[in-house]
Chain A
């Protein structure tokens, strides 16, 4: 399966989805002008991946900041992960960033995917 690899910019996150090397990661800042358009490739990738996933899929969110329009798309990604057997979320937050910790907790309450929380 093809690798989705987007370099991060000052307003879009770094994205790496690589089935073969078992890397599923979204990190950095997310405040794109058009969040639906920006995240569509991620949703498309997961749509294809869910039909033949790895045994486990640890999906790492290591976000420094995301805006409200991105939060809607993050929920869409998480909803897509619900359909991936063996998927779990690893939600990273900076140790003094309570808002990011709380955001992760809220997402974990909205979807049926196991969440692990880690600080960095």
Chain B
């Protein structure tokens, strides 16, 4: 039973205010959003910061709903992933981890690296270019999620890929929202 205490301590030392592990659906997305909102309201977070955190959470959660692969659908359910929010004195961080197809790692890394090279105006131009010329994907995504997260954050997106097996890789993403 010690893992319960360990997990609790980890959450406290890492300043995690919300952790969800499991299947991701639109219903779960709404529940997680409502919980995070209530949490931020409970200590009177400033509305501008709250909006940015909400915004990044939505893109992050809906990315998982649309793109996450499952290690094993029968055991873990569809779109199995982890989602966390942390709160420190000076910033929030929104973190997600989910399996993706290994064949998509290179293109995703390239996309994120390019986004990280852009400043505020560069991101704005990229956003306008994609929204003007792009169409919704089969899964209903606009291809704007990462760009929007980077814009709302104002910081670099931190990401990593860990191999799981031949077909799958684990994609971790961290977005920071400054509180000042």
**Which A residues lie at the B interface, using CB under 8 A?**
10-11, 31, 33-36, 65, 67-69, 71-72, 75, 94, 96-99, 106, 109-110
Contact = CB atoms under 8 A, between A and B. Distances in A.
Instruction: Name A's interface SS.
Output: helix
B51 A69 contact: no
Contacts, number: 64
A68 B146 CA distance: 10
A65 B55 contact: yes
Interface in B39-68: 47-48, 51-52, 54-55, 58-59, 62, 65
Interface residues of B, number: 30
Given A10-B30, A11-B30, A72-B134, A35 B128 contact: no
B62 A31 contact: yes
B34 to A, nearest CB: 8
Nearest to B149: A68
B136 A33 contact: no
Interface string B109-144: 000000000000000100110011011100011101
Instruction: Name B's interface SS.
Output: helix
Contact of A72 (B34, B47, B51, B144): B144
A33 B153 CA distance: 23
Given A96-B48, A110-B131, A36 B59 contact: no
A9 B127 CA distance: 27
A40 B124 CA distance: 27
A35 B54 contact: no
A72 B58 contact: no
9 contacts: A68-B141, A69-B136, A69-B140, A69-B141, A71-B144, A72-B131, A72-B136, A97-B48, A106-B127
